[in-house]
Amino acid sequence: MRGRFCLIIYAMSDIHGQEAPFEEALSLVDLDDPDVMLVLCGDYIDHDWQAPEWFDRIRRLQEAHPGQVVVLKGNHEDAYLEACGDALLPTTRRWLRDLPLFYETERQIFVHAGIDEEAGDLWRVACEDWYFLGKVPASVGSFPKDIVAGHVGTYGLCGENRVYWDGQAHFYLDGSTERSGVVPVLKYDSLTDRYTTFGRAQTSDGAPAWHEEPVRPGRA
């Protein structure tokens, strides 16, 4: 799936049914601004498969902001469709079935797990679905476009549940939200061609406070 040009692109992944952390991360994204886009990179439910109403929450967000919210399929959505798809409302089942496996801009490839990078420019036709949905381990190094993915927990890459950047062409967003309580957020500004993320702290009264900061290369 190829995308339209947007000035600002936010990306999140691997929400795993954690509603409060997702809503907190979503508060950082101003979807009232038509130049803002949000890309969700899959795995909206967890291993215990929350009620299917959670899919409706994501679908309603997309429908409320036409052309601004991209929802990609993760391996958990694929597995749910295979095992429990008949339990979904027909509209939700069709929506889930038709979710794209990747989203491509002039600068990035957004995907749940990864692509077949050895295929080079032929990755769009050379990739089998399992690459997009379940590729492991995490790839690092150079590629013609930046690859933004989830699926692989960033704690295993850098010892922190945050956005991981390999310093070249790979960004990973899976913050193990079901354990950390945080959905890492990546932001790309097309005017400056820079990536930023958001650090999370607490105010004196215990409320969460966010600050925007550059994405710095991590240690694999």
What's the structural domain count of the chain? 1
Residue 26 confidence (pLDDT): 97
User: Which pair of structure tokens corresponds to residue 159?
Assistant: 């010892």
Confirm whether 3 is domain-assigned.
no
What percent of the chain stands above pLDDT 90? 75
Confirm whether 48 is domain-assigned.
yes
Confirm whether 60 is domain-assigned.
yes
User: Is the preceding omega at residue 214 within 30 degrees of 0, hence cis?
Assistant: no
Structural domain span for residue 95: 8-214
Residue 48: pLDDT band (50, 70, 90) is low
Secondary structure of residue 19 in the 3-state scheme = helix
Neighbours of 31 (CB within 10 A): 15
Give the phi and the psi of residue 184 in degrees, each rounded to 5: -60, 145
Q: What is the pLDDT of residues 56-84, one digit of tens each?
A: 899 999 999 999 999 999 999 999 888 88
Please list the alpha-helical segments (H only) found in the chain: 19-26, 53-64, 75-84, 90-97, 123-126, 129-134, 155-158, 177-180
CATH of the domain at 85: 3.60.21.10
Residue 220 confidence (pLDDT): 44
User: Which pair of structure tokens corresponds to residue 129?
Assistant: 């679905």
State how far the Cα of 39 lies from the Cα of 10, in Å rounded to an integer.
6
Q: CA geometry: angle at 45 spanning 211 and 48, to 5°?
A: 125
Confirm whether 2 is domain-assigned.
no
Q: What is the pLDDT of residues 112-132, one digit of tens each?
A: 999 999 999 999 998 899 999
